A and B are shown apart, each in its own frame.
Chain A
Amino acid sequence: MSKGWRWAVLLLPFLAFVLLVVFLLRGLFSDPTELSSALVGKPVPQFTVPDLYQPERTYTHDILKGQPLLLNVWATWCPTCRAEHEYLNKLAAEGVAIIGLNYKDDSRDKAVAWLNTLGDPYQVNLFDADGSVALEFGVYGAPETFLIDASGTVRYRHVGDVNERVWQGELGQRYRALLDGATQETNK
């Protein structure tokens, strides 16, 4: 066996080991509960859903078109939604368009009371009592936040609470990029 071959044979297990370590390390720091949305890059699904405050008033999927916005899925039974609520109030005050989708809440009154006490960061409040709209969006828990562009295409989904770190991260960066794109369009 030539010298070069011998080195190759000796290094091969080592390289395999390094590959395995990289693979396992990635596994260690990845969150298996975080699934990428199947809707990314697709237009928002069609739906008709009542308003949270006024049961007789209904909205369709068209409400999600016209500007880059966040669709926030929340419920009063969801502790993490409570945790992110302050931050959503802050974002709304900064002018971020957020639409709320109340997901299978215990009751309409409870949801309204929550918004009355904690503040209402949502431009529009959708009330999805049986979770059928959320099912169209592939929602598997709350809170989830979808980033939707002006044409009504889903661009990104964030699972878990929205906070400063998330807003500085991918969700916020993508939102700001969309906003820049939208203002450039109107200035043309």
Chain B
Amino acid sequence: MIHALSRCLALASMLFLISFAVTVPSAGAQSLQEYEFDEPAQEALFHDLIDELRCPKCQNQSIADSNAELAKDLRDRTYVMVKQGASKQEVIDYMVARYGDFVHYQPPMTFVTSILWWGPLTVLAVGALVILYRVRRQKVEEIELDAGEQARLEELRREGEKEQNR
């Protein structure tokens, strides 16, 4: 029994770890050797940006990760802009103006996207309220026995004790 349980646990934790191995993107899959920088700050900014910008062609890859032609074009454009001293926000605004919010992995807070923030909180709050409500109702009900029922209870208890002592 204990063996089966520990085996189960081991399997579960293994699956857990594998799921991580699968979902972690292979960052830096593309060769970025060609992008050379004199200033480390610009290089860091460039890497930040290409990790945060999403390839419009390939649904769920950053432009750092994708080998699509378009991703390369966007990397090149990002490189040129960073080299020219553009700030992070300037590059993001430039891309969003052309490719829409889709191109940035951090969606802006608008009425439609705000559900991403308050949605889970609402679900949690509703669940908490339901639990609170039910727990309170349980407490209220206390059972009172009349004389006859009390006598029967005593009798059953005595019988039970006898059974145990046998």
A interface residues, Cβ below 8 angstroms from B: 32-33, 35-39, 45, 104, 131, 135-138, 140-141
- Decide: A141 and B57 in contact? CB cutoff 8 A: yes
**When A131-B73, A135-B77, A141-B70 are in contact, do A36 and B100 touch as well, CB less than 8 Å?**
yes
- Decide: A140 and B69 in contact? CB cutoff 8 A: no
B70 CB contacts on chain A under 8 angstroms: 140-141
Closest residue of B by beta carbon distance from A141: B57
Annotate B48-61 by CB proximity to A: 1 below 8 A, 0 otherwise: 00000000110100
**When A104-B69, A135-B73, A141-B70 are in contact, do A38 and B97 touch as well, CB less than 8 Å?**
yes
CB distance from A2 to the nearest CB of B (A): 15
CB distance from A138 to the nearest CB of B (A): 4
A36 CB contacts on chain B under 8 angstroms: 100
- Decide: B59 and A136 in contact? CB cutoff 8 A: no
Q: Can you name 16 extra interface pairs (CB under 8 A) apart from A33-B59, A104-B69, A140-B57?
A: A37-B100, A38-B97, A38-B98, A38-B100, A39-B98, A131-B73, A135-B74, A135-B77, A136-B98, A137-B98, A138-B98, A138-B100, A140-B56, A140-B70, A140-B99, A141-B57
Q: Please give me the 8 A-B residue pairs with the lowest Cβ-Cβ distance, nearest first.
A: A38-B100, A140-B56, A138-B98, A138-B99, A140-B57, A35-B102, A131-B73, A140-B70
Closest residue of B by beta carbon distance from A77: B69
| Residue B153 lies at the interface, judged by CB distance under 8 Å to chain A | no
Report the interface size class on chain B: 10 to 19
Q: List 8 A-B contacts (CB under 8 A).
A: A33-B59, A35-B100, A38-B96, A38-B97, A104-B69, A136-B98, A137-B98, A138-B98
Cα(A137)–Cα(B100), bound, Å: 11
Closest residue of A by beta carbon distance from B69: A104
CB distance from A137 to the nearest CB of B (A): 7
B98 CB contacts on chain A under 8 angstroms: 38-39, 45, 135-138
CB distance from B43 to the nearest CB of A (A): 23
Cα(A138)–Cα(B57), bound, Å: 11
Closest residue of A by beta carbon distance from B74: A135
Cα(A135)–Cα(B57), bound, Å: 12
